[in-house]
């Protein structure tokens, strides 16, 4: 299956309750040949309306932070979420919803074959790195699993609520850049 077929399948998905309240399925965007994937928890209001991940205020902050470390969201990264439909009122996705949706992320990962996965926020990190992951304590640490490097960092929406974590988040992006150099993804 290629990415377009997977996207079509996902856009016609009614496997969980989130299908009932979504406006659009938010499948993922960015470079499908990138070696780095960013994974958040789920679409917010703007993402649901536009059908694209990280387009609201949190997305704009992420863009600024990537610019600051000279990484290109379009060229260097593919970006998606654990659940592809917006949880009502931006609540955390339920375990059952994540479980239903994660096969799409797995298939995206098989097609893209990233070397690095950056988990944006607790929901993605507990799902993809370890169930008891604590972002404030363990952000920026590297974990090698299944042939890929994983790192958890702050969700940009959390940074909008708590600006004091921004310097740590920038350190994490610099660490990502170092890892990309080490793996010869960039020079």
- Residue 173 CB, nearest distance to ligand SF4 (Å)? 28
> What does each C-alpha distance from 63 to 6, 37, 82 come to in angstroms?
26, 15, 20
66 scored as a contact of ligand SF4 (CB under 6 A): no
For tokens 């290109």, the residue is 72
18 scored as a contact of ligand SF4 (CB under 6 A): yes
94 scored as a contact of ligand SF4 (CB under 6 A): no
Among 59, 57, 64, smallest CA distance to 81 is for 59
CB 13 within 8 A of CB 84: yes
- Residue 22 CB, nearest distance to ligand SF4 (Å)? 6
151 scored as a contact of ligand SF4 (CB under 6 A): no
Cα distance between residue 60 and residue 49, in whole Å:
16
116 scored as a contact of ligand SF4 (CB under 6 A): no
Q: Which is nearer to ligand SF4, 58 or 85 (CB)?
A: 85
Rg (CA), the chain: 15
Q: Which is nearer to ligand SF4, 27 or 38 (CB)?
A: 27
CB atoms within 10 A of CB 130: 14
- Residues at the contact surface with ligand SF4, assessed by CB under 6 A: 10, 13-16, 18-19, 25, 83-85, 97, 100-101
């Amino acid at each position: 299956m290629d990415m377009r077929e997977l996207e079509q399948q996902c856009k016609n998905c009614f496997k969980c309750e989130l299908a009932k309240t979504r406006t659009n399925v938010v499948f993922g965007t960015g470079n499908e040949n990138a070696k780095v994937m960013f994974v958040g928890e789920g679409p917010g209001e703007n993402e649901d309306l536009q059908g694209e991940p990280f387009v609201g205020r949190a997305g704009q902050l992420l863009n600024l932070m990537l610019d600051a470390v000279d990484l290109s969201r379009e060229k260097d990264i593919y970006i998606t979420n654990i659940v592809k439909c917006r949880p009502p009122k931006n609540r955390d996705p339920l375990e059952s919803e994540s479980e239903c949706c994660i096969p799409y992320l797995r298939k995206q990962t098989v097609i893209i074959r990233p070397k690095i996965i950056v988990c944006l926020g607790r929901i993605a990190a507990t799902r993809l790195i370890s169930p008891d992951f604590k972002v404030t304590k363990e952000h920026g640490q590297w974990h090698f699993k299944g042939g890929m490097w994983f790192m958890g960092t702050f969700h940009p929406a959390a940074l909008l609520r708590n600006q004091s974590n921004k310097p740590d988040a920038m350190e994490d992006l610099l660490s990502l850049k170092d890892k990309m150099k080490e793996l010869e993804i960039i020079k």
